[in-house]
Amino acid sequence: MHEVTVGMKHLADYKTVIGDERYDELRALAAAAKGRSMVHINATAYGGGVAEILQNLIPLLRDAGVDAHWWVLDAPAEFFDITKKLHNALQGMPLELSERERSLFLDVSRENAAAMPRADVVLAHDPQAVALHHFASTKAAGWVWRCHIDLTTAHQPVWSFLRPFVQEHDASIWTMPQFVRPDLGSQRVLIQTPTIDPLSEKNRGMPIADAREIVKRLGIDVDRPILLQVSRFDPWKDPLGVIDAYRLAKRNVPGVQLVMIGSLADDDPEGAEYLAKTKAHAGDDKDVHVFTNLDGVKDREVSASQIVSTIVLQKSLREGFGLVVAEALWKGIPVIGGNVGGIVVQIEDGVSGFLVSSVEETAKRAVQLLKDAGMRRRMADAGRERVRDRFLITRDLRDQLQLVASLSRAHDRTG
């Protein structure tokens, strides 16, 4: 296990974004949590929503007076093959773990737990880190498990393997009430959606002229309409269905282009496989542009692509939350998203975008929006305000400060 280095942020910089009342509330909560220590643990320092959240949240916790740190598991490649299998099984695939796979998963958890730092509160993210508490010698800390994925159709044998480790925590955090497993027991359950940082490089915006120039350098015609999907190359993000929907829409709007951007993360061994499948499905269509972080397409390029896109797609089949939905809405771009998981709490259907359940419905809504600039503007305004109200990182900071203070007080009374 090793610590991730993060930059600096200042809560005062967010005052103009969130207003005086919310800023004052955060300062009061910070006073109650000041001096406490907190460690977040996840599987990777780059790629995916958890790493992106922690890169921005940890500096804000520190500025608020919490001694916050971010640690990442050290593990062999086979461990991430196993945890990807866990991820897929928890989202509904009927996959089984062999005894050898279970043993390796637990061995890696035991080894990482031995290297854990002490803290008042430890927050372990997702299946990769769920067993750390079981093996950790730091039993005095308040332990929380954070589930970022949709467990509504979890494959029961795999959930039954993980459930005892979840139940050992003092609390668990879920994105939606529907994700909470009914057999979890009496554990303290918190419902908290993920959030985006409006002042990060990806979300603070840029002049439209700069964004257009960056996207032009990627070989995309910025004078024609653009459909954009930003996500991992993963079966649950349905990249092949996105291409099919684009092709249907193109029959009605011949000039439309499709841009697909994804990161290849350390903990996602399927990424390269689905990237290859996506490129093969696109074939020789010059209006389908596929990029990854290995092409040098990172936060600045993603931001520019979102800013110049006509519509953002997030046609997921399963989705824990989907930060890219909030990112696009914050930039004033309407989103067509799968009617699943955390997407449904971000998009008000027909108000800030559309929720869809098929390739055909995606194409139909895309054509509707491509042909109606007034509707796009109305949805853009509604979407940005919804994000400001519910999905900015200052709300996540508020939840974390409350958690640190409450668990620390509980430990003080019993410790």
Q: Do domains 2-195+393-414 and 208-390 have the same CATH topology?
A: yes
DSSP string, 342-394: THHHH--BTTTEEEESSHHHHHHHHHHHHT-HHHHHHHHHHHHHHHHHH-BHH
Nearest CA-CA partner of 384 in 315, 327, 308: 327
At residue 238, the pLDDT reads 95
Nearest CA-CA partner of 150 in 322, 402, 367: 322
At residue 30, the pLDDT reads 95
Q: Which fold has domain 2-195+393-414?
A: Rossmann fold (3.40.50)
d(CA 362, CA 179): 25
Residue 277, classified by CB atoms within 10 Å of its CB into exposed (0-12), middle (13-18) or buried (19+), is middle
At residue 412, the pLDDT reads 56
Nearest CA-CA partner of 86 in 151, 42, 33: 151
At residue 266, the pLDDT reads 61
At residue 263, the pLDDT reads 81
Taking CA atoms, 208 is separated from 215, 300, 342, 379, in Å, by: 11, 13, 29, 19
Nearest CA-CA partner of 203 in 168, 169, 230, 239: 230
At residue 407, the pLDDT reads 86
Place of tokens 């967010």: 14
Instruction: Give 382-394 pLDDT, tens digit per residue.
Output: 999 999 999 999 9
At residue 133, the pLDDT reads 95
CA end-to-end span of the chain, whole Å? Answer: 27
d(CA 10, CA 18): 14
At residue 47, the pLDDT reads 72
Residues 6+ apart with CB under 8 A from 243: 258, 260, 278, 281, 282, 288
At residue 264, the pLDDT reads 78
Spans in the chain with pLDDT lower than 50: none
Structure-token pair, residue 151: 């467990």
> Which sequence spans correspond to the domains of the chain?
2-195+393-414, 208-390
Yes or no: domain 208-390 corresponds to CATH 3.30.420.40: no
At residue 209, the pLDDT reads 97
Alpha carbons within 13 A on the beta-carbon side of 161 = 20
Taking CA atoms, 76 is separated from 107, 112, 124, 234, 236, in Å, by: 11, 12, 19, 21, 24
